[in-house]
Amino acid sequence: MTKRKNMVTLALGVALFASTLSAEVLNGRGASFPGPVYKAWISQYNKATGEKVNYTPTGSGDGIKSIKKRIVDFAGSDKPLKPKSLKKHKLYMFPTVIGSIVLAYNIPGIKDGELKLSEKAIAGIFSGKIKYWDDSAIKSVNPNLKLPHEKITVAVRADKSGTTFNFTYYLSKIDSADFKPSKKPTWKANVVAGKSNSGVSANIQQTKYSIGYIEYSYKQKLGLPAAQVQNKAGQYIMPTLKSFQDAAKYAKWTPKEDFYAVIGYPDGNTSYPIVAATFILLPYEKTDTNKKVTKFFDYAYQNGDKVATDLGYVPLPKETKDMIRKYWESKGIK
């Protein structure tokens, strides 16, 4: 009787172990910039394969920190790490999708796309040199808008952020004296800070006469108004999928550099000027787990373009996806 009982217990244990294996979850965290598209891809992947992936949008700084400490299976970062840093921390890196950063605002009476912002005005607002909405630098390109004499509140990130890195990279291109690329700069403007893109979006919603930088899909989801932005060619460009696609054409990738590239402030008359790629970081030593991660992203590359486009992201070109697959193969993680 005891022998039979032991056999039953062993059988139950084996079944439980097998069940645990089949329910294994890939865990990732980091950049909030791609949060909406990763959530959609994960849902799509789970329905198609039954495999479970979890991604928590905690910010790029946290993602980089977490993967360096090997707390997660993979990390997301909008700030690409240079090859030297990747080698030091024994990490692989590849891009997943291209997104955009919009300047969303809360000015009563001014609708989506009605506000135009020049490079001079944007630099002035975020440096704190322009303090009121009826400043001449803003009024001069918006002669038909009734801009109020109200103090500007600037909504920024409280955490170390890849979105902030890419936005300050753009700011450094239009005003190198006042800005340097940084995940967490010291702002001189009158700011209100929030964690992740969702926190900045919430602050814009709740604060009259505010403006802030957020990823486009958050603007779409919440229905926030966003400005036309002057691009490198001097044109005022609406944030649209087409203008993001026009900008994305100027991205240049190379597997030799682990796809390191900052693609903000592109050329082109019709390019939206504030675009960014987002990246995945993987540890050298977790070969088997890495293969499961790349299997998920390979599925997303093959099946996730439509959902990415619907959310306002720009899928990677086929040529880039093929380069990434060869990169995975060369590292033994495909």
pLDDT for residue 23: 54
pLDDT for residue 187: 97
* Residue whose token pair is 């040529």: 319
- pLDDT tens column, 67-119: 999 999 999 999 999 999 999 999 999 999 999 999 999 999 999 999 999 99
- pLDDT tens column, 189-245: 999 999 999 999 999 999 999 999 999 999 999 999 999 999 999 999 999 999 999
Q: Mark whether 234 and 126 lie in a shared domain.
A: yes
pLDDT of 8 above 50:
no
Q: Mark whether 73 and 184 lie in a shared domain.
A: no
- pLDDT tens column, 34-47: 999 999 999 999 99
Q: Mark whether 77 and 109 lie in a shared domain.
A: no
CA distance 179 to 12: 62
Is the Cβ–Cβ distance between 107 and 115 less than 8 Å? yes
Q: Mark whether 136 and 234 lie in a shared domain.
A: yes
Percent of the chain with pLDDT over 90: 89
pLDDT of 33 above 70:
yes
Q: Mark whether 276 and 324 lie in a shared domain.
A: yes
CA distance 133 to 154: 12
- pLDDT tens column, 191-207: 999 999 999 999 999 99
CA distance 148 to 128: 17
CA distance 67 to 69: 5
Burial of 257 (0-12, 13-18, 19+ CB in 10 A): middle
Average pLDDT over residues 150-178: 96
Task: Give the count of domains, the chain.
Answer: 2
**What's the mean pLDDT when you consider all of the chain?**
93
pLDDT for residue 272: 97
Output the CA torsion sign for 282, 52, 310, 216. negative
Is the Cβ–Cβ distance between 201 and 166 less than 8 Å? no
Amino acid identity, residue 36?
P
Q: Mark whether 117 and 229 lie in a shared domain.
A: yes
Q: Mark whether 168 and 197 lie in a shared domain.
A: yes
Confidence of residue 252 (pLDDT cuts 50, 70, 90): confident
Domain that holds residue 171: 101-244
Average pLDDT over residues 152-171: 95
Confidence of residue 24 (pLDDT cuts 50, 70, 90): confident
Q: Mark whether 308 and 197 lie in a shared domain.
A: no
pLDDT for residue 9: 46
- Our measurement of the distance from residue 182's CA atom to the centroid of its chain's CA atoms, rounded to an integer in Å, reads 15
